[in-house]
Structure 1
Amino acid sequence: MTSSPTRHSRPVSRRGLLGMAALGAGAVALSACAGPATASSGASSATANTDGPDFSGVTPATTITFWSNHPGNSEDVTKQIIAKFKDATGITVNLVTAGSTYEDVAQKFQTAQAGGTLPDVVVFSDVWWFRYFMQDSIIPLTSVLKAADVDTSDYREGLFADYQYKGAQYAVPWARSTPLFYYNKKHWSAAGLPDRAPATWDEFAEWAPKLQAANNGTQYVYEHPALADYAGWTLQNILWGYGSGWSAKDSFDITCDSDASVKALQYVQDSVYKGKWAGVASTSGTDDMAAGAISATLGSTGSLVGVQKTAAGKFEVGVGFLPGGPVTKSPVCPTGGSGVGIPKKIPAANQLAAAKFIGFLTNPENTVAFSAATGYMPVRKSADVTSLLAKNPLIGTAIKQLEVTRTQDYARVFLPGADQEMAKSVAQIVTKEADVKSTMTALRSTLENIFNTQVKSHI
């Protein structure tokens, strides 16, 4: 690969990247997805106090509002937790459906900053919270969580640290996930396959003809997840397995057109056009798998319980770690999901009540209940998962996979609009059989332009 203008003589750390983002509005839009503008008049004043406001003498409000998109079909279990919270504290929480996606919530929250009614607790994904920090629209949580008697040392360190910046904590993990490999055990048995996920994608390519020959009544053996939502996220798995990525590890060196990346994405294209055993989900691969229309797909752990309910009585669902590649077998799994935080421009009484609710929402007992209802991972170290695993052992696979996860590529999560560009490029490859090398070279040019025009000058 020719010399890239994005190469650095000194690597930029994740924390260093976040630090440079506060230097000016040009880097404010650092995120995987398009959405509300995040520019502010200067560096966020939230950096002035890493602990957050002083809550001495503050009495918590008796009524607060929680905005959520109900990740993992979590509305019912969230309502149950809210009811228990009122019984325990007397505080009423009004749950508001603020949209169906994290982007919907972000847009609604952005609009509210301009004069609408703000929530007291808001949900946002691990790649969205920094937008809110840059808007100076959320508070550091250390002081308020302490005032609310929330034991922050009990959160899983890796998940809790995803929301930290310059020593401050801006959210608490809630609906956290990794992708899983989902498969139909009935189809696996009919094809004479071992009851497990493939160890590598090459192994799955060997299994695919056997699944086809089993005549399971499926259109495809496998569906690549819907491109608009998942291409940039899940395809990191295959790219990493081939020893590459959208960008080099912990770097802005764009590597989507490297020889290794081209081989990885050629595998993806060949699965559709050459092997003819794979398709591309139009909306949800896990829904198609649960309906028996395909034999396997990748999907969030947050889809697990829903898939099991849909498949109940028809076939048994199997899950496993994401497959490795010819170069790297582990770690090849990214994390994802959402946390909850507190807006800045609301009364201190509401902020304190919000912190009490966040602590209750994510306490050991409720994180297990939430996991049982959705498939998301328990976020507390002290959570007793015995009953959870006894009821649904597959959730244990998601928890174990936490130990072999990898930080997402900078190119996906820190270049504004990059996720959509990746999805468009992958769509060319898997729906129009475009040349992989030239498509990835064009994507590299696009990503480098985003970096050079919006990020580079702030490093």
Structure 2
Amino acid sequence: MNQFASRSTSRRTLLRSAFAVAAATPILSACTDDPAPTPTSKGDGKFPGVTINVACNPSSVQACTEAGKQWGQVTGATVNAQVIPFAERATSYASWIVSKDASYDVLYGGVDFISNFGDKLYLPLKDMLGDTSDYVPAALGQLTKGGALLAAPLFADMLLFFYNKSDWSAAALPEKIPGTWDDLYGYAPKLTVGNREPCVIPWNNNGVPFWIAFFNSTKGQLFSDDKSQLLFDNDKGLAAWQAISRGFQSKFFGLAGANAVGDQDTSLLFNQNLAASQAATTGFGSTAGSTDPAKKSVITKAEVGVSVMPGITAGTSGSVIVAEGLGINKFTRNRDAALSFVKYTTGTEFQKQMVLGKAGQVLPSSRLSVSKDPEVAAGFPLAATLAEQASAQLAWPGNAPFKWNAPFLLGLTNLSKGTWTPEQAHEETIKAVKKLMIAQLGS
């Protein structure tokens, strides 16, 4: 899902913009020498005695560790998968470029890091990977810069709408989720029971991707491709603010969810039946019904329903894609081995294990053929909904060279408190983001 740095920091949020990345990039333009790798194989696919170091997110470290064990048994190599904390990652990546550091052979890749570091750090992979048509197209787009694919997609997650079927049944509501948010808002009185909220979304601390999901249902574009123009200063942008405001006014969105630190926390509310529904990626939605005490689930997996995200208007849906990939450090001395590991981990055999929970953690596959596999469809019921959601707009713009998240969060916080109208939130956010853009362009 995800741009997650550590379980206690970035994994608590769905998509946290890598603000430190922007500050690190100006010094990097001259540091692009590409040293020739030391041969590590005789051409037989074996790499005896070679150790591959993998810089991971918490969301991928278990999968990379398990893939490393399996790949190592075949190749004779060793894989050392380590989490690089989010707070340190941008600075670490920048320093590796400056010093041409080859310590890590395989690198976490997400839209922010691909966008900001590009081929200064990542090795272009398309010609090396071969046919990429089986990867989820939107995931490839997140990991491409300037036409160059810089990481192979490890997983492709999306925001989905999860709901408690028992709560829906007790409220005498149809199990099929309506297609618009406004229709859902009408369910609020029947779903509010005691301190249980109808729907939890961490609006005030991590609400930007959810705002964009609303906006994506209008098929609007947030920024120009080069991030130099703001494109949500129109009726589509206002429609997103207005739709979210109606959610607060109807009390479909409660304050416990709105004030939660991140989507890990809202998933815990849902798991404890303190919320009748949630918008979440599959990584968080799948924790409901878990026997892990840390997930605090009092509901069963059988009680959890899932649907594509509603839209602002009928016949629409909007979500965001959360794609994470594995790239190759252009300074590695183990290029052949690193490529072999990346191919194995993102290949169909291991991807099937991953999505079925046989690789240490469940992650939605980045491979179209795996998602359509009958065994996967039976063992991972969310696959069909993900496939349906993939047909909607999933755009996530990644990190701009300015802290554009903050104005949105201020708008959402004031909206949740009722201190701003949606029109004010729209106008103030536009004003603040434009100011940031001008400052960045003039610096």
Normalised by the shorter chain, which TM-score bucket? 0.7 to 0.9
CA shift for structure 1 position 113: 4.6
The aligned amino acid for 1:182 is F
Within 5 Å, give how 1:156-235 maps onto structure 2: 156-212=136-192, 215=193, 217-229=194-206, 231-235=207-211
Alignment of structure 1 residues 81-100 onto 2, 5 Å:
81-99=67-85
Match of 1:426 in 2: 412
1:282 paired with 2:261, answer yes
Which consecutive residues of structure 2, in runs of 5 or more, have no partner in the other structure? Answer: 1-15, 42-46
CA 1:367 to 1:276, structure 2 compared with 1: closer, same or farther past 3 Å? closer
Structure 1 pair 287–329 and aligned structure 2 pair: CA distance change class (3 A): farther
Counterpart contact for 1:183–1:319, Cα < 8 Å: yes
Contact 1:138–1:343 (8 Å) recurs in 2? yes
**Secondary structure of residue in 2 paired with 1:224:** coil
Contact 1:177 1:335 survives alignment (8 Å): yes
TM-score, normalised with respect to structure 1: 0.77
For 1:250 and 1:329, the matched residues in 2 are separated by 31
In 2, Cα distance between equivalents of 1:179 and 1:152: 24
Q: TM-score, normalised by structure 2?
A: 0.80
Q: 36-45 vs 338-347, which deviates more? A: 36-45
1:222–1:295 contact (8 Å) kept in structure 2:
yes
Note if contact 2:414-2:420 (Cα within 8 Å) is conserved in structure 1.
Answer: yes
Shift of 1:356: 0.7
**Residue 95 of structure 1: how far off its partner (Å):** 1.2
Q: Please, which runs of 5 or more residues in structure 1 have no aligned partner?
A: 1-30, 47-51
1:196–1:319 contact (8 Å) kept in structure 2: no
1:366 Cα offset (Å): 1.2
| Deviation of 1:417 (Å) | 1.2
Q: CA deviation at 1:321?
A: 0.5
d(CA) in 2 for partners of 1:372, 1:186: 26
Quote the residue 2:430 is aligned against.
444
Matched residue count? 404
From 384, 391, 399, the counterpart of 1:403: 391
Q: Work out the CA distance in 2 between the residues paired with 1:278 and 1:314.
A: 23
Letter in 1 for 2:56: S
Q: Which moved more, 1:436-445 or 1:256-265?
A: 256-265
User: CA offset at residue 282 of structure 1?
Assistant: 3.1
Taking the aligned partners of 1:313 and 1:402, their CA distance within structure 2 comes to 28
Identify if the C-alpha distance between structure 1 residues 360 and 194 changes in structure 2 by more than 3 Å, giving closer, same or farther: same
Q: CA deviation at 1:313?
A: 5.3
Instruction: Give, in whole Å, the separation in 2 of the partners of 1:228 and 1:168.
Output: 33
Moved more, 391-400 or 376-385: 376-385
Amino acid at match of 1:402: A
Please give the secondary structure, in 2, of the residue aligned with 1:173.
Answer: strand
- Aligned pairs for 1:53-68 (under 5 A) are 59=41, 60=47, 62-68=50-56
Q: How does 1:348-367 map to 2 (within 5 A)?
A: 350-367=334-351
Give the CA deviation at 1:257.
5.2
State the Cα distance separating 1:399 from its structure 2 match. 2.7
CA distance in 2, matches of 1:238, 1:162: 19
- Structure 1 residues 375, 399: closer, same or farther in 2, change over 3 A? farther
- Report the alpha carbon displacement of residue 124 of structure 1 after superposing the two structures with TM: 2.4
Are the counterparts in 2 of residues 228 and 420 from structure 1 also a CA contact under 8 Å?
A: no
C-alpha separation in 2, matches of 1:192 and 1:456: 58
Residue pair 2:217, 2:319 contacting (<8 A) in 1 also: no
CA deviation vs aligned residue, 1:208-255 (integer Å, no higher than 9, x gap)? 12212xx3x4431111235433x2212112234457564589986535
Tell me whether 1:118 sits opposite 2:103 in the alignment: yes
Instruction: Indicate the SS of the match to 1:337.
Output: strand
Q: For residues 17-166 of structure 1, what are the structure 2 equivalents within 5 Å?
A: 32-36=17-21, 37-40=24-27, 42=29, 45=32, 59=41, 60=47, 62-71=50-59, 74-99=60-85, 101=86, 104-113=88-97, 118-133=103-118, 136-142=120-126, 145=128, 151-166=131-146
Q: Is the 8 A contact 1:225 1:297 kept in 2?
A: no
2:285 matches 1:304: yes
SS at match of 2:432: helix
With over 3 angstroms needed to count, the CA separation of the structure-2 counterparts of 1:199 and 1:250, relative to structure 1, is farther
The Cα offsets for residues 347-387 of structure 1, whole Å up to 9 and x where unpaired, read as 1xx22211111111111021122223355332223336321
Question: One-letter code of the match for 1:300?
Answer: T
Partners of 2:328 and 2:335 within 8 A in 1: yes
Match of 1:319 among 306, 321, 330: 306
Percent identity of equivalent pairs: 20
SS in 2 for 1:222: coil
